[in-house]
Amino acid sequence: MKFLNSLIFFTLFFGNCYSQKKLEYEKIKTDILNSSESLNTTFLLPSSDFFVAIIKDSTVDNPEMNPCVDIESNKEINEIIIKILKSYKLLETLYIEIDYEKYESVESKQKFIPKETELYIELFFKSKQYDYISCFVPVFNKNIARKIVADFGKLFECNSCFKKLKRKI
């Protein structure tokens, strides 16, 4: 009887832990899909200091000094950004930073480090239950990374930033 009770307890406990992790991922993904009002997107290269940052609701400090760091966005553009991310299935696995340049999946213990990628994307947005959250999406395939960057380049006047990013991949 003790064995049966223990088995039931462990089944319920570990089953609940798994479903909570899944539920958290689903909540975060839902928040991203609904984040067009707050989404900030940064394209990072593992082997370069160059990056492209798309910001919403922030003051663009000096666009002439570094036009690729403060690319202004709005709700409509952010909705397109989310559609592009979905079209490449980049929201299927979301990562959070657990240590300097070490990222772990929200849903599992799967990890990546930037030098393993061709490109990785930071999504910073307002979440319903976490206030603001930062998630990362790695892109491991060079051709896909270039296609993604080209698609984003079509959205903005400063396409030169995305062309430079694409060259550096």
Whole-model pTM over 0.85 = no
Q: Strands of 111-112's sheet, edge to edge?
A: 71-72, 51-55, 40-44, 119-127, 131-139, 95-99, 102-105, 111-112
Q: What is the mean pLDDT of residues 64-91?
A: 88
What's the mean pLDDT in 77-87? 95
How is residue 51 annotated by DSSP?
A: E
Is 63's pLDDT higher than 60? no
Report domain extents, the chain.
2-168
11 pLDDT above the threshold of 70: no
